[in-house]
Amino acid sequence: MSDPFSLDDESPAPFRPAPPRPPVAVPADAPWLAGLNPEQHQAVTVTDGPVLVLSGAGTGKTRVLTSRLAQILAGGRAQPWQCLAVTFTNKAAREMRERVGHLVGPASESLWLGTFHALCVRILRRHAEAVGLKSNFTILDSDDQLRLLKQVMEAEGIDAKRWPAQAIMGTIQRWKDRGQPPDKVGGAEAGDLAGGRAADLYRLYQDRLRLVNACDFGDLLLHCLTLFLARPDILADYQGQFRYILVDEYQDTNVAQYLWLRLLAQKHRNICCVGDDDQSIYSWRGAEVGNILKFERDFPGARVIRLESNYRSTPHILAAASHLIAHNAGRLGKTLRPGLAHDPDQTRKVRVRGVWDGPEEARVVVDEIEAQQRAGQSLAGMAILVRAGFQTREFEERLITTGVPYRVLGGPRFYERQEIRDAMAYLRLVNSPDDGLAFERVVNLPKRGLGDAALQMVHTVARARGLPLFEAARLLVETDELKPKPRTALTRFCDDVLRWRSNLETMDHPQLADLILDESGYVEMWKADKSPDAPGRVENLGELVRALGEYDSLEQFLDHVALVMENDSRTDTDKVVVMTLHGAKGLEFDSVFLPGWEEGVFPHQRAMDEGGLAGLEEERRLAYVGLTRARRNLLITFAGNRRIYNQWQASLPSRFLDELPEAHVERQADRGLHPGGAPSWKRPAEVATWAVPERRKTSDFDEGSRVLHPKFGPGTVLAVDGDKLEIAFDKAGTKKVLDSFVELM
């Protein structure tokens, strides 16, 4: 291939079949082959050549991946270190390593198994010089990235008010996701973002990163690609090494990751990608469903294996999910079949329930949770899955008042907390002298009387002499440039850092961290803070020092933290979990509650406004992910009225509700919500069965009718569309509402 960065589909590299290998010497009764269905068996045993496994929700994907690795290793087709297995999350990587370990024993330890980013770090640490970095480069978190970009913008005189750094960062990240280094970005690509200078800022930002010997997450992939391109010898080594490549969640790969895989698979062409186009829900962060859709074109002669037997959900749930997702165009096409026997008398239809407003919705859901609990179900098997974070509040309130134990997932993660990042900056500064971002972060923390003026001066010296900030500071305090007070403070700070650094060799690292946090006054700062969350922060700092003890060295720890920014969310006691639909991907629960199925909330208004039809289809896939999380019980709810930004909004049931198959769904709505029913604005006390939604029924209202709405007050009907009315309210403005909410005046 002349240009490995080319995405030109016209000329795929010629397909060379893998060299013939000896027949598989694995006994047919190998334990990892036991109990596989025919499709799974095929996905495990067809080890050579390109394979795409389309694996629907709950079809045993992880089992196939781990068994396949066992098959390759046990068959003597490759040594563990010749196998590359890539995942997206650390959790998935950990799980896979553990399960392969059970099948093949210690051999699993030398597999190249990890996240894209961790594997790239492993490669880059070896060849850092080839891309202009030192081997001990720092991996920046999003905080530092943004600060660095802001510095560049300020130096370039870009108005941060007009062009938010966040937005420019987003653009840069998309470029990196697409595998485009600064010199491959067309000048006009960002439009008039930053006055047409976005591409310049990208280049300067990259220069700056290199200067401080740092990478952001996107760079890990991008630098790897650059390395492979610049050094065909190095690429050839890796291509030769990786006889077998496995990729999990292929539908989530971005272009950079796709190019990376395509380069590495070039020689042996034994690449197996597992994924589900129907569960692609991350396009907004650069994932390209296209990668999975065009696999057969990229790897001619590829085997495509569909896993459609679902071992998770009841037939009703599967039917609902399949029916809904069938409304999407451009799918590879898959239909989930029940893989387990289900007693039709024992399985319940999917329930859809309409309620008056948000608080009522929370009441209904939590009532149901309590009912199921009384029936002997465990809370740990129940989940409330919301579209967006703001929806969790009402459920939390209700769960607290009823005393149902719960856990909200997705708060700020441990290593993203301010106090942890600050402490980490201290450790980074001690560990690597040229980490200028760490220096800036802690030089005046706690307050030492070093403000912008002093810092500015340090920057000036650093730029003039080409020194790291810390070295510049040491030089500066030797002069009379600074006023006495800041000078003393900065001298003291530099001396402290040097002293801590001198302890690196002699002291064990948790002890050193303890010393640093103590002598710097950082812990003291929080102890003196009287805000309510300060004690928690002190506790977190203790936790950090403890965690440090689990690593062999400070360096190892810093790398781990940069790559594994996760909560060790203990799945401790019996609690209902509340989380976003995105967060629930890959999980399963006996009972799933899906609230907020209203137009504008789900599908989310912004997804439709910004993504058009493609946005809507991604929302639908998200709905599909939600439905397929449930093993036995599924309750979907929507509210007729919702308060958003403290304003009451009338809401219409989600279009996704109309896309569920009648035969498998049981619909109920509070009286007064029934489309076409007698209008009533009284808070409903009883519940009526709502059979089939009749969307196009003629309305009792005409244009010009004067009507009264319980929350918006009086208004005039502007337009009638079936059961939907557009009404100009006297006070609340023009809104669309269901006719059942208003009455004639």
Partner DNA sequence: GGGTCCCCGTTTTTT
Partner DNA sequence: ACGGGGACCC
> Which residues of the shown chain bind DNA in the complex (CB under 7 A)?
88-91, 115, 117-118, 142, 150, 160-161, 217, 284-285, 387-390, 410, 413, 444, 447, 449-454, 486, 563-566, 579-580, 582-583, 604, 606-607, 610-611, 645-646
Q: Which of 426, 677, 618 is nearest to 541 (CA)?
A: 426
* Active-site option among 66, 145, 173, 279: 279
Q: Are 247 and 116 in contact (CB under 8 A)?
A: no
- Minimum CB–partner distance for residue 612 and DNA (Å): 11
- Minimum CB–partner distance for residue 259 and DNA (Å): 16
Q: Across the strands, what pairs with 729?
A: 715, 733
- Minimum CB–partner distance for residue 702 and DNA (Å): 35
Q: How far is residue 71's CA from residue 33's CA, in Å, rounded to a whole number?
A: 9
Q: Which of 615, 673, 666, 676 is nearest to 636 (CA)?
A: 666
User: Is the Cβ of residue 315 or residue 410 nearer to DNA in the bound state?
Assistant: 410
User: Is the Cβ of residue 115 or residue 251 nearer to DNA in the bound state?
Assistant: 115
* Active-site option among 629, 631, 632, 642: 629
- The tokens describing 601, both together, are 């909330």
Q: Is 231 exposed, middle or buried (0-12, 13-18, 19+ CB in 10 A)?
A: middle
- The CB-based long-range contact list for 528-531 (8 Å cut-off, 24+ gap) reads none
- The CB-based long-range contact list for 130-137 (8 Å cut-off, 24+ gap) reads 130/227, 130/230, 130/231, 130/234, 131/223, 131/226, 131/227, 131/230, 132/210, 133/210, 133/213, 133/215, 133/223, 134/213, 136/213, 136/432, 136/555, 137/213, 137/214, 137/215
- Minimum CB–partner distance for residue 77 and DNA (Å): 28
Per the document, the length of the chain is 745
User: Is the Cβ of residue 286 or residue 338 nearer to DNA in the bound state?
Assistant: 286
Burial 221-230 (b: 16+ CB within 10 A, else e): bbbbbbbbee
Backbone torsions φ then ψ of 652, nearest 5 degrees: -105, 145
- Minimum CB–partner distance for residue 335 and DNA (Å): 26
**580 classed as catalytic:** no
- Minimum CB–partner distance for residue 110 and DNA (Å): 20
**61 classed as catalytic:** yes
**248 classed as catalytic:** yes
Write a three-state SS string for 425-436.
HHHHHHHCCCCH
Q: How far is residue 652's CA from residue 715's CA, in Å, rounded to a whole number?
A: 19
- Minimum CB–partner distance for residue 410 and DNA (Å): 5
Q: Across the strands, what pairs with 355?
A: 639
User: Is the Cβ of residue 349 or residue 621 nearer to DNA in the bound state?
Assistant: 621
DSSP state at residue 411: S
DSSP state at residue 18: P
- Minimum CB–partner distance for residue 115 and DNA (Å): 4
User: Is the Cβ of residue 143 or residue 296 nearer to DNA in the bound state?
Assistant: 143
Q: What share of the chain is helix, strand, coil (3-state, %, to 5)?
A: 50, 15, 35
Q: How far is residue 368's CA from residue 464's CA, in Å, rounded to a whole number?
A: 68
- Minimum CB–partner distance for residue 533 and DNA (Å): 10
Q: Are 313 and 628 in contact (CB under 8 A)?
A: yes
**629 classed as catalytic:** yes
User: Is the Cβ of residue 283 or residue 372 nearer to DNA in the bound state?
Assistant: 283
Q: Is cis: bond before 603, omega within 30 of 0?
A: yes
User: Is the Cβ of residue 161 or residue 374 nearer to DNA in the bound state?
Assistant: 161
* Active-site option among 42, 45, 62, 89: 62
DSSP state at residue 709: E
User: Is the Cβ of residue 43 or residue 119 nearer to DNA in the bound state?
Assistant: 119
Q: Are 355 and 641 in contact (CB under 8 A)?
A: no
Q: How far is residue 515's CA from residue 522's CA, in Å, rounded to a whole number?
A: 11
* Active-site option among 40, 48, 59, 61: 61
- The tokens describing 158, both together, are 């870009």
Burial 524-543 (b: 16+ CB within 10 A, else e): ebbeeeeeeeeeebbebbee
**428 classed as catalytic:** no
User: Is the Cβ of residue 285 or residue 499 nearer to DNA in the bound state?
Assistant: 285
- Minimum CB–partner distance for residue 444 and DNA (Å): 7
Which stretches within 578-733 are classed as H helix? 581-584, 605-627, 655-658
User: Is the Cβ of residue 282 or residue 701 nearer to DNA in the bound state?
Assistant: 282
- Minimum CB–partner distance for residue 199 and DNA (Å): 22
Contacts of 454 (CB under 8 A, 6+ apart): 482, 486, 490
User: Is the Cβ of residue 5 or residue 88 nearer to DNA in the bound state?
Assistant: 88
Q: How far is residue 734's CA from residue 745's CA, in Å, rounded to a whole number?
A: 18
User: Is the Cβ of residue 67 or residue 151 nearer to DNA in the bound state?
Assistant: 151
Identify residue 287 by its one-letter amino acid code.
Answer: A
Write a three-state SS string for 183-234.
HHCCCCCCCCHHHHCHHHHHHHHHHHHHHCCEECHHHHHHHHHHHHHHCHHH
* Active-site option among 48, 141, 219, 248: 248
Question: Strand, coil or helix: what is 21?
Answer: coil
* Active-site option among 249, 278, 298, 440: 249
Q: Is 427 exposed, middle or buried (0-12, 13-18, 19+ CB in 10 A)?
A: buried
User: Is the Cβ of residue 302 or residue 462 nearer to DNA in the bound state?
Assistant: 462
Alpha-carbon torsion, ordered 225, 229, 232, 234, to 10 deg: -30
**249 classed as catalytic:** yes
Q: Which residues are catalytic?
A: 61-62, 248-249, 279, 629
